[in-house]
Homo-oligomer: A and B are copies of this chain.
Amino acid sequence: MPVQMELKRIIISEISERQIILLREVDDGSNSQDLRSFPIVIGIFEATSIDRRVKNIVNPRPLTHDLINSVIESLGGDLQDVVISELREHTYYARIRIRKDGELTEVDARPSDAIALAVTARVPIYVAEDVLEDVLNEMESD
């Protein structure tokens, strides 16, 4: 079962190319003491793009992730959610899931694009349960 996550924090460093976003399990009320979270390293462009969304900074012109959403809608699709589906050699892989004519289409993406798109289109972010377990195990052993 994929676990629904929310964007908990964006840590932007001006002296580094590598920025960090922190995802945390969504509190369903049952275990608010023990919500799992993990960081993902992303590029400055994606971090800035996500940061602007979260802060509701309005852009006068459609930015790149707005464009992706427009493309989906203009082709009759509907972004359903995004899933961080895999962790392989310290690299995360994600998929964006689009519903169209009752069918679900999955498209491979980097987690940074997937999350920026989810924040733009206000759809849920999921992470596969095994990915979440693997990353938490890795973090413990570090």
A71 within 8 A of B: yes
A2 within 8 A of B: no
Q: How many A residues have CB within 8 A of the partner chain?
A: 28
Which residues from B are CB-within-8-Å of A105?
A: 74-75
Is the Cβ of B67 less than 8 Å from the Cβ of A109?
A: yes
Closest partner residue, chain B, to A108 (CB atom): B62
Which residues from B are CB-within-8-Å of A84?
A: none
Closest partner residue, chain B, to A112 (CB atom): B64
New contact pairs (10) apart from A62-B109, A71-B96, CB-CB < 8 Å = A45-B45, A46-B64, A61-B93, A62-B110, A63-B110, A64-B65, A68-B68, A70-B108, A75-B77, A75-B98
